[in-house]
Structure 1
Amino acid sequence: MAKKKHAKPHEEENGEAWLLPYSDLMTLLLALFIALFAISQTDQKKMSELAQAFTAAFNMGGPSFFDKAGPNVGRRAETPSDEDLGNSAYFAENKQLEEIQKKMQEYIEENHLEDQLSTEMAEEGLMIRIKERALFPSGSAQLVGQAQSIVPVVAGMLASLPERVVISGHTDNVPISTAQYPSNWELSASRAMNLMKAVLAAEKSLNPARFSAIGYSEYRPIADNKTDAGRQQNRRVEIFIARNYRFNPNEAPGGKQGANADTGAANAPAANSGPATPSTNGAAGSNMATTSM
Protein backbone atom coordinates (compact mmCIF):
# COMPACT_ATOMS: atom_id res chain seq x y z
CA MET A 1 0.00 0.00 0.00
CA ALA A 2 1.46 3.25 -1.09
CA LYS A 3 2.17 5.93 1.51
CA LYS A 4 0.50 9.32 1.15
CA LYS A 5 2.88 12.20 0.76
CA HIS A 6 2.17 15.15 3.05
CA ALA A 7 2.21 18.49 1.34
CA LYS A 8 4.96 20.77 2.57
CA PRO A 9 3.98 24.26 3.80
CA HIS A 10 4.30 26.93 1.23
CA GLU A 11 7.43 28.82 2.25
CA GLU A 12 6.56 31.87 0.23
CA GLU A 13 3.20 32.21 2.00
CA ASN A 14 4.83 32.07 5.46
CA GLY A 15 7.46 34.54 4.43
CA GLU A 16 4.86 37.19 3.57
CA ALA A 17 2.99 37.00 6.88
CA TRP A 18 4.85 40.04 8.26
CA LEU A 19 3.44 42.37 5.63
CA LEU A 20 0.07 42.77 7.35
CA PRO A 21 1.34 44.05 10.75
CA TYR A 22 3.97 46.11 8.94
CA SER A 23 1.35 47.85 6.84
CA ASP A 24 -0.71 48.50 9.98
CA LEU A 25 2.34 50.02 11.68
CA MET A 26 3.06 52.27 8.71
CA THR A 27 -0.56 53.40 8.67
CA LEU A 28 -0.43 54.30 12.36
CA LEU A 29 2.86 56.17 11.95
CA LEU A 30 1.42 58.09 9.03
CA ALA A 31 -1.60 59.06 11.09
CA LEU A 32 0.68 60.13 13.97
CA PHE A 33 2.79 62.39 11.77
CA ILE A 34 -0.31 63.92 10.22
CA ALA A 35 -1.65 64.65 13.71
CA LEU A 36 1.63 66.20 14.86
CA PHE A 37 1.82 68.38 11.78
CA ALA A 38 -1.78 69.50 12.15
CA ILE A 39 -1.28 70.40 15.83
CA SER A 40 1.63 72.68 14.96
CA GLN A 41 -0.40 74.49 12.29
CA THR A 42 -3.88 74.48 13.81
CA ASP A 43 -6.56 76.26 11.83
CA GLN A 44 -9.92 75.31 10.38
CA LYS A 45 -8.43 74.08 7.10
CA LYS A 46 -5.87 71.88 8.84
CA MET A 47 -8.49 70.43 11.13
CA SER A 48 -10.54 69.42 8.10
CA GLU A 49 -7.50 67.84 6.44
CA LEU A 50 -6.69 66.00 9.66
CA ALA A 51 -10.21 64.57 9.83
CA GLN A 52 -10.00 63.39 6.24
CA ALA A 53 -6.59 61.84 6.81
CA PHE A 54 -7.78 59.86 9.83
CA THR A 55 -10.88 58.74 7.98
CA ALA A 56 -8.82 57.57 5.01
CA ALA A 57 -6.11 55.93 7.13
CA PHE A 58 -8.49 53.88 9.24
CA ASN A 59 -11.16 53.50 6.56
CA MET A 60 -13.81 54.87 8.90
CA GLY A 61 -17.18 56.11 7.75
CA GLY A 62 -19.74 58.38 9.29
CA PRO A 63 -19.25 61.63 11.11
CA SER A 64 -16.00 62.10 13.00
CA PHE A 65 -15.10 64.00 16.15
CA PHE A 66 -13.53 66.74 14.03
CA ASP A 67 -16.79 67.34 12.18
CA LYS A 68 -18.29 68.47 15.51
CA ALA A 69 -15.51 70.82 16.50
CA GLY A 70 -16.69 73.84 18.44
CA PRO A 71 -16.68 77.38 17.10
CA ASN A 72 -13.39 78.22 18.85
CA VAL A 73 -11.38 75.39 17.31
CA GLY A 74 -8.66 76.73 15.08
CA ARG A 75 -9.39 80.35 16.01
CA ARG A 76 -6.38 82.36 17.04
CA ALA A 77 -6.68 84.25 20.30
CA GLU A 78 -6.71 87.99 19.85
CA THR A 79 -3.64 89.46 21.45
CA PRO A 80 -2.38 93.05 21.58
CA SER A 81 0.26 93.96 19.03
CA ASP A 82 3.87 94.39 20.08
CA GLU A 83 3.54 98.12 19.51
CA ASP A 84 0.56 98.32 21.87
CA LEU A 85 2.39 96.35 24.56
CA GLY A 86 5.63 98.30 24.24
CA ASN A 87 4.58 101.62 25.77
CA SER A 88 1.05 100.97 27.02
CA ALA A 89 1.91 102.05 30.57
CA TYR A 90 3.37 105.32 29.26
CA PHE A 91 0.28 106.11 27.19
CA ALA A 92 -2.08 105.29 30.06
CA GLU A 93 -0.14 107.54 32.42
CA ASN A 94 0.10 110.30 29.83
CA LYS A 95 -3.67 110.25 29.31
CA GLN A 96 -4.19 110.58 33.05
CA LEU A 97 -1.84 113.56 33.28
CA GLU A 98 -3.52 115.24 30.31
CA GLU A 99 -6.89 114.90 32.01
CA ILE A 100 -5.52 116.55 35.16
CA GLN A 101 -4.02 119.36 33.09
CA LYS A 102 -7.34 119.89 31.31
CA LYS A 103 -9.25 120.08 34.60
CA MET A 104 -6.70 122.52 36.01
CA GLN A 105 -6.92 124.74 32.92
CA GLU A 106 -10.71 124.77 33.18
CA TYR A 107 -10.46 125.83 36.84
CA ILE A 108 -8.00 128.59 35.94
CA GLU A 109 -10.23 129.96 33.17
CA GLU A 110 -13.45 129.73 35.17
CA ASN A 111 -11.89 131.70 38.05
CA HIS A 112 -9.93 134.12 35.85
CA LEU A 113 -6.58 133.10 37.32
CA GLU A 114 -4.59 133.13 34.07
CA ASP A 115 -2.19 135.74 35.46
CA GLN A 116 -1.51 133.70 38.62
CA LEU A 117 -1.64 130.00 37.69
CA SER A 118 -0.40 128.05 34.69
CA THR A 119 0.26 124.45 33.66
CA GLU A 120 2.89 122.91 31.45
CA MET A 121 3.29 119.34 30.21
CA ALA A 122 6.94 118.32 29.95
CA GLU A 123 8.76 115.12 29.08
CA GLU A 124 9.40 114.51 32.79
CA GLY A 125 5.84 115.21 33.97
CA LEU A 126 3.15 117.83 34.57
CA MET A 127 4.02 121.22 36.07
CA ILE A 128 1.57 123.50 37.89
CA ARG A 129 2.99 126.99 38.55
CA ILE A 130 1.47 129.33 41.12
CA LYS A 131 2.73 132.88 41.46
CA GLU A 132 3.64 134.27 44.85
CA ARG A 133 0.79 136.76 45.16
CA ALA A 134 -1.83 134.00 44.81
CA LEU A 135 -0.64 132.32 48.02
CA PHE A 136 1.83 134.41 50.05
CA PRO A 137 2.44 137.99 51.17
CA SER A 138 5.74 139.48 50.06
CA GLY A 139 8.64 138.18 52.15
CA SER A 140 6.46 135.63 53.99
CA ALA A 141 5.70 131.90 53.79
CA GLN A 142 2.29 132.18 55.48
CA LEU A 143 -0.51 130.98 53.20
CA VAL A 144 -3.12 133.70 52.69
CA GLY A 145 -5.28 135.14 49.94
CA GLN A 146 -6.64 132.63 47.46
CA ALA A 147 -4.80 129.71 49.03
CA GLN A 148 -8.00 128.58 50.75
CA SER A 149 -9.69 128.03 47.39
CA ILE A 150 -6.70 126.92 45.29
CA VAL A 151 -5.19 124.34 47.65
CA PRO A 152 -8.28 122.06 47.95
CA VAL A 153 -8.69 121.99 44.18
CA VAL A 154 -5.07 120.99 43.61
CA ALA A 155 -5.20 118.42 46.41
CA GLY A 156 -8.32 116.82 44.95
CA MET A 157 -6.69 116.45 41.55
CA LEU A 158 -3.54 114.94 43.02
CA ALA A 159 -5.59 112.34 44.90
CA SER A 160 -6.32 110.45 41.68
CA LEU A 161 -2.65 110.11 40.72
CA PRO A 162 -0.08 107.55 41.91
CA GLU A 163 2.93 109.59 40.80
CA ARG A 164 5.46 111.35 43.00
CA VAL A 165 4.80 115.03 43.67
CA VAL A 166 7.53 117.61 44.23
CA ILE A 167 6.58 121.05 45.55
CA SER A 168 9.32 123.62 45.07
CA GLY A 169 9.69 127.22 46.22
CA HIS A 170 11.43 129.92 44.17
CA THR A 171 12.34 133.56 44.81
CA ASP A 172 13.77 136.45 42.87
CA ASN A 173 17.34 137.66 43.40
CA VAL A 174 16.44 140.40 45.88
CA PRO A 175 18.14 139.49 49.19
CA ILE A 176 16.11 138.97 52.34
CA SER A 177 17.45 138.99 55.89
CA THR A 178 14.97 138.64 58.73
CA ALA A 179 14.95 136.69 61.96
CA GLN A 180 12.59 134.12 60.44
CA TYR A 181 14.13 134.02 56.95
CA PRO A 182 17.86 134.80 57.02
CA SER A 183 18.06 134.27 53.24
CA ASN A 184 16.01 133.33 50.21
CA TRP A 185 16.89 129.69 50.88
CA GLU A 186 14.81 129.63 54.06
CA LEU A 187 11.97 131.59 52.45
CA SER A 188 11.70 129.36 49.38
CA ALA A 189 11.95 126.13 51.41
CA SER A 190 9.36 127.34 53.96
CA ARG A 191 6.90 128.24 51.22
CA ALA A 192 7.27 124.81 49.62
CA MET A 193 6.89 123.08 52.99
CA ASN A 194 3.81 125.09 54.01
CA LEU A 195 2.09 124.47 50.68
CA MET A 196 2.84 120.75 50.90
CA LYS A 197 1.39 120.56 54.42
CA ALA A 198 -1.72 122.43 53.30
CA VAL A 199 -2.25 120.07 50.35
CA LEU A 200 -1.91 116.99 52.55
CA ALA A 201 -4.27 118.47 55.13
CA ALA A 202 -6.85 119.30 52.47
CA GLU A 203 -6.96 115.73 51.11
CA LYS A 204 -6.54 113.04 53.76
CA SER A 205 -6.33 110.22 51.20
CA LEU A 206 -3.01 111.50 49.87
CA ASN A 207 0.03 109.42 50.77
CA PRO A 208 2.72 111.67 52.35
CA ALA A 209 5.42 109.27 51.12
CA ARG A 210 4.72 110.50 47.59
CA PHE A 211 5.52 114.13 48.46
CA SER A 212 8.71 116.15 48.72
CA ALA A 213 9.25 119.86 49.41
CA ILE A 214 12.29 121.72 48.14
CA GLY A 215 13.59 125.29 48.11
CA TYR A 216 15.65 126.62 45.19
CA SER A 217 16.05 130.20 46.37
CA GLU A 218 16.80 132.44 43.36
CA TYR A 219 18.71 129.80 41.37
CA ARG A 220 15.95 128.50 39.08
CA PRO A 221 14.68 131.69 37.39
CA ILE A 222 12.23 131.48 34.50
CA ALA A 223 12.45 135.19 33.67
CA ASP A 224 14.95 138.04 33.79
CA ASN A 225 15.45 139.36 37.33
CA LYS A 226 16.45 142.76 35.94
CA THR A 227 12.81 143.81 35.49
CA ASP A 228 9.87 143.99 37.89
CA ALA A 229 7.79 141.75 35.62
CA GLY A 230 10.58 139.18 35.50
CA ARG A 231 11.01 139.16 39.26
CA GLN A 232 7.26 138.67 39.73
CA GLN A 233 7.38 135.57 37.52
CA ASN A 234 10.35 134.17 39.44
CA ARG A 235 8.60 134.49 42.80
CA ARG A 236 6.54 131.33 42.61
CA VAL A 237 5.88 127.81 43.85
CA GLU A 238 5.71 124.85 41.52
CA ILE A 239 3.87 121.56 41.91
CA PHE A 240 5.59 118.97 39.77
CA ILE A 241 3.94 115.59 39.09
CA ALA A 242 6.76 113.28 38.00
CA ARG A 243 6.09 110.56 35.44
CA ASN A 244 6.62 106.94 36.40
CA TYR A 245 7.18 105.91 32.77
CA ARG A 246 9.00 107.32 29.76
CA PHE A 247 8.22 106.69 26.09
CA ASN A 248 10.78 104.34 24.56
CA PRO A 249 10.81 104.60 20.72
CA ASN A 250 13.46 101.90 20.41
CA GLU A 251 11.73 99.36 22.58
CA ALA A 252 11.99 95.82 21.21
CA PRO A 253 8.71 93.99 20.49
CA GLY A 254 7.45 92.05 23.45
CA GLY A 255 9.55 94.09 25.89
CA LYS A 256 8.54 95.75 29.13
CA GLN A 257 5.60 98.07 29.24
CA GLY A 258 7.40 101.36 28.97
CA ALA A 259 10.70 102.39 30.44
CA ASN A 260 10.45 102.98 34.17
CA ALA A 261 11.30 106.62 34.84
CA ASP A 262 13.58 107.16 37.79
CA THR A 263 12.23 110.11 39.75
CA GLY A 264 15.65 111.02 41.08
CA ALA A 265 17.56 114.15 40.30
CA ALA A 266 19.22 112.55 37.27
CA ASN A 267 15.90 112.60 35.38
CA ALA A 268 14.77 116.04 36.51
CA PRO A 269 13.65 118.81 34.15
CA ALA A 270 16.17 121.33 32.95
CA ALA A 271 17.12 124.13 35.32
CA ASN A 272 15.08 126.76 33.50
CA SER A 273 12.01 124.62 32.83
CA GLY A 274 11.08 123.20 36.22
CA PRO A 275 12.32 121.62 39.41
CA ALA A 276 14.55 118.63 39.65
CA THR A 277 12.94 115.74 41.45
CA PRO A 278 14.93 115.58 44.68
CA SER A 279 16.02 112.67 46.73
CA THR A 280 13.83 112.13 49.77
CA ASN A 281 16.49 111.80 52.41
CA GLY A 282 15.99 115.33 53.67
CA ALA A 283 19.57 116.38 52.91
CA ALA A 284 20.20 119.87 51.60
CA GLY A 285 22.25 120.02 48.40
CA SER A 286 24.77 122.66 47.52
CA ASN A 287 22.23 124.56 45.40
CA MET A 288 18.93 123.67 47.05
CA ALA A 289 17.21 123.28 50.39
CA THR A 290 15.20 120.08 50.59
CA THR A 291 12.50 118.80 52.90
CA SER A 292 10.65 115.52 52.45
CA MET A 293 7.88 113.70 54.25
Structure 2
Amino acid sequence: MSKKTRHEPHEEHADESWLIPYADLLTLLLALFIVLYGMSSTDAKKFEEMSKAFSVALNGGVGVMDKSSVEGTDTNTPQDSSSQLQQQSGQSMSMAKKRSELMRQEQEDLEKLKKQMDNYIKVNGLSSQLDTKLNQSQLTITISDKALFASGDDTVKPESRKLAKAISVLLEGFPDYEVIVSGHTDNVPISNQQFDSNWDLSAGRALNFMKILLLNSKLDPRKFVSTGYGEYHPVASNSTDEGRSKNRRVEVSILRKYQSNTSSQQGIATTP
Protein backbone atom coordinates (compact mmCIF):
# COMPACT_ATOMS: atom_id res chain seq x y z
CA MET A 1 0.00 0.00 0.00
CA SER A 2 1.51 3.20 -1.12
CA LYS A 3 2.01 6.01 1.23
CA LYS A 4 0.39 9.22 0.35
CA THR A 5 2.70 12.12 0.33
CA ARG A 6 1.76 14.49 3.01
CA HIS A 7 1.87 18.09 1.98
CA GLU A 8 2.70 20.61 4.59
CA PRO A 9 0.30 23.52 4.57
CA HIS A 10 1.67 26.67 2.86
CA GLU A 11 2.46 29.61 5.03
CA GLU A 12 0.02 32.43 4.48
CA HIS A 13 1.38 35.62 2.86
CA ALA A 14 1.93 38.49 5.22
CA ASP A 15 -0.54 41.37 4.98
CA GLU A 16 1.18 44.18 2.96
CA SER A 17 -1.69 46.64 2.91
CA TRP A 18 0.21 48.85 5.34
CA LEU A 19 2.66 49.80 2.58
CA ILE A 20 0.18 52.13 0.89
CA PRO A 21 -0.40 54.51 3.80
CA TYR A 22 3.31 54.25 4.64
CA ALA A 23 4.23 55.45 1.12
CA ASP A 24 1.71 58.26 1.40
CA LEU A 25 3.22 59.26 4.71
CA LEU A 26 6.70 59.39 3.19
CA THR A 27 5.37 61.53 0.33
CA LEU A 28 3.79 63.95 2.79
CA LEU A 29 6.98 64.13 4.82
CA LEU A 30 8.98 64.89 1.67
CA ALA A 31 6.56 67.64 0.72
CA LEU A 32 6.72 69.00 4.27
CA PHE A 33 10.51 69.21 4.19
CA ILE A 34 10.35 70.96 0.81
CA VAL A 35 7.94 73.53 2.26
CA LEU A 36 10.14 74.03 5.32
CA TYR A 37 13.14 74.55 3.06
CA GLY A 38 11.20 77.06 1.03
CA MET A 39 10.15 78.95 4.16
CA SER A 40 13.76 79.34 5.17
CA SER A 41 14.34 81.44 2.02
CA THR A 42 13.51 85.16 1.90
CA ASP A 43 12.29 84.85 -1.67
CA ALA A 44 8.52 85.35 -1.49
CA LYS A 45 8.06 83.97 -4.98
CA LYS A 46 9.86 80.75 -4.08
CA PHE A 47 7.73 80.38 -0.95
CA GLU A 48 4.59 80.69 -3.05
CA GLU A 49 5.84 77.99 -5.40
CA MET A 50 6.67 75.66 -2.51
CA SER A 51 3.23 76.25 -1.04
CA LYS A 52 1.63 75.26 -4.31
CA ALA A 53 3.83 72.18 -4.46
CA PHE A 54 2.68 71.17 -0.98
CA SER A 55 -0.94 71.64 -2.03
CA VAL A 56 -0.34 69.42 -5.06
CA ALA A 57 1.17 66.69 -2.87
CA LEU A 58 -1.85 66.76 -0.57
CA ASN A 59 -4.53 66.91 -3.23
CA GLY A 60 -2.98 64.85 -6.00
CA GLY A 61 -2.35 65.94 -9.56
CA VAL A 62 0.83 67.07 -11.12
CA GLY A 63 4.04 67.08 -9.15
CA VAL A 64 6.60 69.74 -8.55
CA MET A 65 8.63 68.74 -11.59
CA ASP A 66 5.63 69.13 -13.87
CA LYS A 67 4.65 72.55 -12.51
CA SER A 68 6.54 74.60 -15.06
CA SER A 69 4.97 72.79 -18.00
CA VAL A 70 1.47 73.35 -16.62
CA GLU A 71 1.87 77.03 -15.78
CA GLY A 72 3.34 77.93 -19.14
CA THR A 73 6.67 78.86 -20.51
CA ASP A 74 7.14 82.19 -18.75
CA THR A 75 10.70 82.10 -17.50
CA ASN A 76 10.82 85.63 -16.07
CA THR A 77 12.07 85.58 -12.51
CA PRO A 78 11.03 88.15 -9.87
CA GLN A 79 14.47 89.66 -10.19
CA ASP A 80 13.95 90.10 -13.97
CA SER A 81 10.55 91.77 -13.46
CA SER A 82 11.93 94.06 -10.77
CA SER A 83 14.85 94.99 -13.01
CA GLN A 84 12.51 95.80 -15.88
CA LEU A 85 10.32 97.98 -13.66
CA GLN A 86 13.35 99.82 -12.33
CA GLN A 87 14.63 100.35 -15.86
CA GLN A 88 11.28 101.69 -17.07
CA SER A 89 11.00 103.94 -14.03
CA GLY A 90 14.52 105.22 -14.64
CA GLN A 91 13.73 105.96 -18.28
CA SER A 92 10.53 107.81 -17.33
CA MET A 93 12.38 109.90 -14.76
CA SER A 94 15.11 110.64 -17.28
CA MET A 95 12.59 111.76 -19.90
CA ALA A 96 10.73 113.91 -17.38
CA LYS A 97 13.98 115.51 -16.26
CA LYS A 98 15.01 116.18 -19.86
CA ARG A 99 11.61 117.70 -20.69
CA SER A 100 11.79 119.87 -17.59
CA GLU A 101 15.21 121.13 -18.66
CA LEU A 102 13.94 121.87 -22.20
CA MET A 103 10.96 123.77 -20.78
CA ARG A 104 13.27 125.79 -18.55
CA GLN A 105 15.51 126.64 -21.51
CA GLU A 106 12.50 127.60 -23.63
CA GLN A 107 11.21 129.89 -20.91
CA GLU A 108 14.59 131.61 -20.77
CA ASP A 109 14.62 131.98 -24.58
CA LEU A 110 11.18 133.58 -24.74
CA GLU A 111 11.83 135.84 -21.77
CA LYS A 112 15.04 136.97 -23.48
CA LEU A 113 13.20 137.71 -26.75
CA LYS A 114 10.46 139.58 -24.89
CA LYS A 115 13.04 141.69 -23.06
CA GLN A 116 14.78 142.54 -26.34
CA MET A 117 11.48 143.51 -27.95
CA ASP A 118 10.41 145.59 -24.95
CA ASN A 119 13.72 147.43 -25.07
CA TYR A 120 13.26 148.15 -28.79
CA ILE A 121 9.77 149.51 -28.10
CA LYS A 122 11.06 151.74 -25.31
CA VAL A 123 14.06 153.08 -27.23
CA ASN A 124 11.94 153.93 -30.28
CA GLY A 125 8.99 155.34 -28.36
CA LEU A 126 6.52 152.78 -29.71
CA SER A 127 4.73 151.87 -26.49
CA SER A 128 1.42 153.17 -27.84
CA GLN A 129 1.69 151.07 -30.98
CA LEU A 130 3.34 147.83 -29.86
CA ASP A 131 2.91 145.48 -26.93
CA THR A 132 4.29 142.07 -25.89
CA LYS A 133 2.76 139.31 -23.79
CA LEU A 134 4.21 135.97 -22.72
CA ASN A 135 1.79 133.28 -21.55
CA GLN A 136 1.67 129.51 -21.25
CA SER A 137 1.41 128.92 -25.00
CA GLN A 138 3.29 131.68 -26.81
CA LEU A 139 5.03 135.02 -26.90
CA THR A 140 2.84 137.51 -28.75
CA ILE A 141 3.99 140.79 -30.29
CA THR A 142 0.94 142.98 -30.97
CA ILE A 143 1.25 145.79 -33.52
CA SER A 144 -1.44 148.43 -34.02
CA ASP A 145 -2.74 148.71 -37.57
CA LYS A 146 -1.92 152.44 -37.52
CA ALA A 147 1.75 151.57 -37.15
CA LEU A 148 1.67 149.51 -40.34
CA PHE A 149 -1.20 150.33 -42.70
CA ALA A 150 -3.33 153.11 -44.04
CA SER A 151 -7.03 152.79 -43.33
CA GLY A 152 -8.65 150.03 -45.40
CA ASP A 153 -5.35 149.03 -47.01
CA ASP A 154 -3.08 145.99 -46.63
CA THR A 155 0.15 147.50 -47.95
CA VAL A 156 2.77 148.02 -45.26
CA LYS A 157 3.80 151.68 -45.03
CA PRO A 158 7.35 152.33 -46.26
CA GLU A 159 8.35 153.82 -42.90
CA SER A 160 6.99 150.72 -41.12
CA ARG A 161 9.20 148.28 -42.97
CA LYS A 162 11.97 149.22 -40.53
CA LEU A 163 9.85 147.78 -37.70
CA ALA A 164 9.30 144.52 -39.59
CA LYS A 165 13.03 144.27 -40.24
CA ALA A 166 13.84 144.87 -36.57
CA ILE A 167 11.50 142.05 -35.53
CA SER A 168 13.00 139.72 -38.11
CA VAL A 169 16.50 140.40 -36.77
CA LEU A 170 15.36 139.54 -33.24
CA LEU A 171 13.81 136.30 -34.51
CA GLU A 172 17.17 135.24 -35.98
CA GLY A 173 18.34 134.19 -32.53
CA PHE A 174 15.40 131.79 -32.13
CA PRO A 175 15.31 129.79 -35.37
CA ASP A 176 13.64 126.65 -33.95
CA TYR A 177 10.33 128.26 -33.04
CA GLU A 178 7.22 128.30 -35.20
CA VAL A 179 5.74 131.73 -35.88
CA ILE A 180 2.16 132.68 -36.73
CA VAL A 181 1.44 136.11 -38.20
CA SER A 182 -2.26 136.90 -37.81
CA GLY A 183 -4.36 139.83 -38.96
CA HIS A 184 -7.38 141.24 -37.07
CA THR A 185 -9.95 143.96 -37.76
CA ASP A 186 -12.85 145.64 -35.99
CA ASN A 187 -16.45 144.79 -36.84
CA VAL A 188 -17.09 147.72 -39.15
CA PRO A 189 -17.87 146.25 -42.61
CA ILE A 190 -15.39 147.15 -45.30
CA SER A 191 -16.63 148.17 -48.68
CA ASN A 192 -14.18 148.94 -51.45
CA GLN A 193 -13.01 147.48 -54.74
CA GLN A 194 -9.99 145.75 -53.21
CA PHE A 195 -11.60 143.78 -50.36
CA ASP A 196 -14.95 142.03 -50.12
CA SER A 197 -14.84 141.63 -46.34
CA ASN A 198 -12.78 142.05 -43.19
CA TRP A 199 -11.61 138.46 -43.72
CA ASP A 200 -9.79 139.50 -46.88
CA LEU A 201 -8.35 142.65 -45.32
CA SER A 202 -7.00 140.85 -42.24
CA ALA A 203 -5.55 138.00 -44.31
CA GLY A 204 -3.86 140.38 -46.73
CA ARG A 205 -2.29 142.42 -43.94
CA ALA A 206 -0.91 139.33 -42.20
CA LEU A 207 0.51 137.93 -45.43
CA ASN A 208 2.18 141.15 -46.50
CA PHE A 209 3.78 141.71 -43.11
CA MET A 210 5.06 138.12 -43.05
CA LYS A 211 6.58 138.56 -46.50
CA ILE A 212 8.65 141.48 -45.20
CA LEU A 213 9.82 139.40 -42.22
CA LEU A 214 10.95 136.66 -44.60
CA LEU A 215 13.06 139.03 -46.66
CA ASN A 216 15.58 138.13 -43.98
CA SER A 217 17.25 135.06 -45.52
CA LYS A 218 18.32 133.83 -42.08
CA LEU A 219 14.72 132.97 -41.22
CA ASP A 220 13.23 129.62 -42.27
CA PRO A 221 9.96 130.11 -44.24
CA ARG A 222 8.88 126.60 -43.18
CA LYS A 223 8.48 127.91 -39.64
CA PHE A 224 6.09 130.69 -40.66
CA VAL A 225 2.39 130.84 -41.43
CA SER A 226 -0.04 133.74 -41.90
CA THR A 227 -3.76 133.82 -41.23
CA GLY A 228 -6.62 136.30 -41.14
CA TYR A 229 -9.18 136.28 -38.33
CA GLY A 230 -11.23 139.24 -39.49
CA GLU A 231 -13.35 140.71 -36.71
CA TYR A 232 -13.87 137.44 -34.83
CA HIS A 233 -11.04 137.55 -32.26
CA PRO A 234 -11.47 140.96 -30.63
CA VAL A 235 -9.45 141.98 -27.57
CA ALA A 236 -11.76 144.88 -26.70
CA SER A 237 -15.32 145.99 -27.21
CA ASN A 238 -16.23 147.21 -30.69
CA SER A 239 -18.77 149.61 -29.20
CA THR A 240 -16.19 152.39 -28.77
CA ASP A 241 -13.57 153.99 -31.01
CA GLU A 242 -10.85 153.03 -28.54
CA GLY A 243 -11.96 149.40 -28.48
CA ARG A 244 -12.15 149.19 -32.28
CA SER A 245 -8.68 150.69 -32.51
CA LYS A 246 -7.29 147.93 -30.26
CA ASN A 247 -8.97 145.27 -32.33
CA ARG A 248 -7.34 146.44 -35.57
CA ARG A 249 -3.94 144.82 -35.21
CA VAL A 250 -1.34 142.37 -36.48
CA GLU A 251 0.03 139.77 -34.07
CA VAL A 252 3.33 137.92 -34.38
CA SER A 253 3.10 134.83 -32.15
CA ILE A 254 6.17 132.73 -31.31
CA LEU A 255 4.80 129.36 -30.23
CA ARG A 256 6.14 127.28 -27.38
CA LYS A 257 7.37 123.78 -28.22
CA TYR A 258 7.04 122.47 -24.67
CA GLN A 259 3.84 123.41 -22.92
CA SER A 260 3.01 122.70 -19.29
CA ASN A 261 -0.21 121.07 -18.13
CA THR A 262 -1.70 124.52 -17.66
CA SER A 263 -1.06 125.57 -21.27
CA SER A 264 -4.80 125.86 -21.83
CA GLN A 265 -4.86 128.91 -19.57
CA GLN A 266 -4.42 131.49 -22.29
CA GLY A 267 -3.60 135.03 -21.37
CA ILE A 268 -1.74 134.30 -18.12
CA ALA A 269 1.19 136.65 -18.59
CA THR A 270 4.55 136.44 -16.91
CA THR A 271 6.28 139.40 -15.38
CA PRO A 272 7.51 141.88 -18.00
Q: Taking structure 2 as the reference length, what is the TM-score of the superposition?
A: 0.60
The change in CA–CA distance for 1:269 and 1:163 in structure 2 (over 3 A counts) is farther
- Please list every run of 5 or more consecutive structure 1 residues that lacks an aligned counterpart in the other structure: 1-80, 250-266, 275-293
Structure 2 contact 161–212 (Cα < 8 Å) conserved: no
The aligned amino acid for 2:114 is: Q
- Residue 201 of structure 2 is matched in structure 1 by 187
Cα distance change on mapping 1:178 and 1:196 into 2, 3 Å: same
- Matches of 2:137 and 2:214, distance apart in 1: 23
CA shift digits 1:98-150 (9 cap, x unpaired): 10000000000111100000000011010000000000001000100541221
CA 237–150 in structure 1, closer or farther in 2 if over 3 Å, else same: same
- More helix by percentage: 2
**The residue matched to 1:240 in structure 2 has which SS?**
strand
Q: Which whole-Å deviations, capped at 9, do the CAs of 1:189-216 have from their partners, x for residues lacking one?
A: 0000000001001x11111110000000
Q: 1:200 aligns with which of 205, 214, 231?
A: 214
Alignment RMSD, CA only? 2.1
1:149 is the counterpart of 2:162? yes
Deviation at 1:92, TM superposition (A): 0.5
Which amino acid in structure 1 is aligned with residue 106 of structure 2?
A: E
Q: 2:118 aligns with which of 90, 94, 105?
A: 105
Identity %: 39
Q: Which of 231, 245, 256 is equivalent to 2:258? A: 245
1-structure distance, mates of 2:200, 2:191 = 10
Q: In 2 relative to 1, CA 269–180 (structure 1 residues): closer, same or farther, beyond 3 Å?
A: farther
User: 1:177 corresponds to which residue?
Assistant: 191
Q: Distance in 2 between matches of 1:137 and 1:170?
A: 14
The answer (yes or no) to whether the contact 1:134–1:146 under 8 Å persists in 2 is no
Matches within 5 A, 1:79-98: 84-98=97-111
CA distance in 2 between partners of 1:238 and 1:135 (Å): 12
Contact 1:93–1:245 (Cα < 8 Å) also in 2: yes
User: Residue type matched to 1:199 in 2?
Assistant: L
User: Greater Rg, structure 1 or structure 2?
Assistant: 2
Alignment length (residue pairs):
174
Pick closer, same or farther for the CA change 1:104–1:130 going to 2, 3 Å. same
SS of the residue corresponding to residue 194 of structure 1 reads helix
